[in-house]
Structures are given as C-alpha cells and as structure tokens.
Amino acid sequence: MLKLNGTLGISEFYKVIFESNPIEIDNTVFQTIENSFNFLKNFSENKTIYGVNTGFGPMAQYKIADTDRIKLQYNLIRSHASGTGNYIQPQYVKAAMLARLNTLSLGNSGVHRSVIGLMRELINRNITPLIYEHGGVGASGDLVQLAHLALVLIGEGEVFYKGEIKLTKNVFEIENLKPITVVLREGLALMNGTSVMTGIGIVNTINTRRLLNWSILCSSAINEIVQAYDDHLSFELNQTKKHNGQREIAKQMRTHLSDSKLTRKREEFLYNKNPQVEVFEEKVQEYYSLRCVPQILGPILDTLNNIERILIEEVNSANDNPIVDVEKQHVYHGGNFHGDYVSLEMDKLKMVVTKMSMLAERQLNYLLNPNLNNILPAFVNLGTLGLNFGMQGVQFTATSTTAENQMLSNPMYVHSIPNNNDNQDIVSMGTNAALITKKVIENAYEVIAIEMITIIQAIEYLKVQDKVSSNTKKMYDAIRNLVPVFSEDIVMYPYVNEVKAFIMNHENNIV
C-alpha cells in the first residue's frame, strides 16, 4: 500500500501505474482538504470568487445566483465533456488521475473530501474514465479531457472496467460507489489543471528511460560484434567532455562490454605496428553511429533527467485557478493551469526520442549493408543471396517509421491558436504535445525491435555467441526465445510486434 502525503516522484508513479500498487491517503491530507474546503465556503459567502459565483472564461462577467451555483458546476462538466477521436489508453488515464489526485491533495483547490476519496477508489479498483485524445488546448489546463474525468466522478459518462467500456452508473452500482458531492467549485477544480498532459508525460518519461537503456545495450552489442576499437568509450576520452550524460553513457557501455572477447584495443592492433601500406584494409575509425554513441545518447540522457524534474515539479504543484491559501486566508486568481512547462518538455522529449530512432535506423543500416560493415551478407541474409531476402523487408518499416518520427518532432509548443472568444489568446497545446510524444516513443520501440532482431541474426551468422559480452548474450537468449533462427524467408510482422511488446514491458536488466 502506497500512502499519499502530497508528494509524488517517478518511483511512486511507476509502482501505481506499472505495478498496480494500491494507494492510501494520509489522514493529514484529508484534514488539509477539509480546512481548504471550509475556508473557501466561508470566504466566498460575501465575495466574488471566479468559478464559485461567476460564469467561466469570457463569461466570468456574469454573476451567478446562489441558487444556481451547484447547477453551474454540473453545466461546466457536461458541456466540456466534448472530446473526440481515439480514446487515451487506460494506463495513461490512470497516471492522469494520480496526478490530479495529488495536486488536489495540496489543499489549494477547496474541493469536498469526497473528490479525493472517490478518485482513490477508482485508481485502486482499476476503474478508468473514458477520455478522448482530441479536445484540449492546454491553457486552462486540460479542460476537455479533465471534464471527462469529472463526468465519471459525478456518476456519468463511461469507464474502462475489467477490459470493457461500460456506463459509469452501472459500474458504480456493481462496485457500490457513490458520485462526489458537488458543493462549491468541484467541477472547475477538477477541470482546471495540467494533470492529463503531466500524467501522460510521466508515463512517456518512464517508457523513454527504458527505451534509452535498450538503445545503450544495442549500441554496445553492435560495437562488439563488428570488433570496434574501444577507445571511443574510454574513461579518459569521455572525461575530457564536461557533460554528465556523455560520461554516463560511456560508462554504461564500458560496463556492458567489460567481458566481451570481441572489442579491440587500438594499442594492440594499430599502435604497436605500422604496416607499410598506402591504404588500410580495415577502418581506422568507426562510423559515427558506432563511435559517437556517448555524444549522441548523452544529451538524450541529460534532457530526460531534466524533463523528469520539471514534470515532478508540476505534479507536486497547485495547477488550479483560483488558488486557495488557507494560511494567508486569501484566494488568488491567476494562471497556474497553463501548460507551457509540460508542453515544452514534451517537445524536447519527442525530439530526443526521434534522435534515438534515427541512431537505431543508422546502426541497422550499417549491419544490413555489406559495403559498410564488410563482414555480414547483404541484409544479414542467412539464406541464399538473391533467392532469399533476410532483413530487407523490415528495413523499409524501420526507415519509414523513423521518417514519421522526424515529421512528428515538429514542436507543438509554438502552435498556439487563440480561442474561447480570445480569452485564451495564447495556449500551450500541452496535451497534444504529450500524445504526439507518446506516438513517437512507440514508433521508436518498433525501430529498436527491428534493430535487435538484426543484431541477433548477425550474431548467428558470425557464430560469436560464446564471444559476445554476458549482457549481449542475455539479450541474444531473450530475443531468440521470441524469434527463431531463419534462413528461409518468414513473415516478419508478428515477430517485430512480439519483440516490441517484450522490450516495452521489460527493463533491460532482465537480460
């Protein structure tokens, strides 16, 4: 049982989202919520408070009668539950729910405690609101997507329940759950925030770190099976650059290759002899996709670390409007719901993930082109050249998927379009950025899955299973359990999908 006390990190998200750990809420959180709710209830009795006794957005100039306050909240939720397109996968919605639960737990929103209690139950029972991809512009937060969450909390809309989409009211009857109590501003408080883009973003970072680890392993394996010189990974060379990411990538690759019998030392092959030739048969230096891996994956690691920091700051922040401050006995109106922080980080993330897919595609091309590697048959074809095709077909998939990533990497952060009667005149498009990044990450897994199968086939052709490093051998064994040795042409898409699913759901420390 994971106890929430208002502070969440990546590890807590991982436990809840990927390991289905149940959550409990510390009693101090409920007390904070009670204090915030009671203060706002009293404070708003004879004052004009946005979203309590006024309309919303450009209609905030309209005073709402006390008798219509509750109806106002329901009207907001129902009118804005207007999402379209594909639904967001339950895993990402669950992350968004956890993010929203945490920010409401800070006590800056003035919601009724039933909101916290019901959200906890939905998370613990894997009852996930049906939320659509299209709708949010990411300025008053994820208004449309969060409206679908709020719709479920008032007992309406639809949910994912035991693998099926069902009416919320029917599931609540089965599970003996009651809708939230709407008293003050529960509708606006649920909808005004960045929790959907942030929740999706956190899952994106978790999946990206796993992807990066697989990329490091693949890059290490390629270096050894082509018997590259190891000085480009050396401590001494990489220490001359001040970037932590580069140093760490080089260190991890040295660790991966520490017991390899294939990588070569320059001093043994080039420094202790100087053959009298005009043209060297072997390359003196490797292609960039092998030699420059620390310099390519290093900035990706540094960027990922910073993105995680920003997202965790966001998920532990009040991203509502207005903000209730019990200590100061005041309510502040502003724009904490604006999603620019998340939008910018998601654009950075999809750029570096695209670069990862580009690196994998170039490494793949190196293995498939005998004019580059000089040791493998064309397309790592274990059959008859001309009659069989080896990995030729799947290279098209890797190349086209990488090209799609390059196009998708155009930033959303600078694609603001004014809307809402120009009240929202500059917006973040943060949810779009997070969802496009999700697509880019999934694409990159496909490219690396194809690269991985090719690496395994190359090891098979070279018959170096007993010479590769122990880490590469574990990867070889794991993928061989999924993909058989093939010399005759086989239908490849089931194997690519199986390897993709495997690496998306396993850390590389299991191989």
Residues involved in catalysis: 50
Question: Crossing angle for the helix pair 340-368 and 430-462, nearest 10 degrees?
Answer: 20
Would you state the structure tokens that stand for residue 139, as one six-digit string? 């300025």
Long-range contacts, stretch 455-458, CB < 8 angstroms, 24+ apart: 455/218, 455/221, 455/222, 455/225, 455/367, 456/480, 456/483, 457/380, 457/382, 457/390, 457/391, 457/485, 457/486, 458/225, 458/367, 458/376, 458/380
Contact between 483 and 495 (Cβ < 8 Å): yes
Burial of 298 (0-12, 13-18, 19+ CB in 10 A): buried
Report the Cα 193 to chain-centroid distance in Å. 19
User: Of 288, 427, 314, 404, whose CA–CA distance to 353 is shortest?
Assistant: 404
User: Of 298, 309, 315, 299, whose CA–CA distance to 345 is shortest?
Assistant: 309
Measure Cα distances from 361 to 134, 236, 346, 394 in Å. Answer: 31, 29, 22, 11
Query: Please, which residues bridge with residue 325 across strands?
Result: 330
C-alpha dihedral sign at 501, 504, 507, 508 = positive
Contact between 375 and 283 (Cβ < 8 Å): no
Burial of 231 (0-12, 13-18, 19+ CB in 10 A): middle
Contact partners, residue 343, CB within 8 Å, separation at least 6: 138, 197, 412, 413, 428, 429, 430, 433, 434
Measure Cα distances from 431 to 111, 160, 410 in Å. Answer: 24, 21, 15
Query: Could you give the angle at the alpha carbon of 373 between the alpha carbons of 371 and 374, nearest 5°?
Result: 65
C-alpha dihedral sign at 212, 214, 216, 222 = negative
d(CA 337, CA 424): 12
Contact between 269 and 263 (Cβ < 8 Å): no
User: Of 216, 209, 218, 289, whose CA–CA distance to 250 is shortest?
Assistant: 216
Computed over its alpha carbons, how large is the radius of gyration of the chain? 27
d(CA 143, CA 190): 9
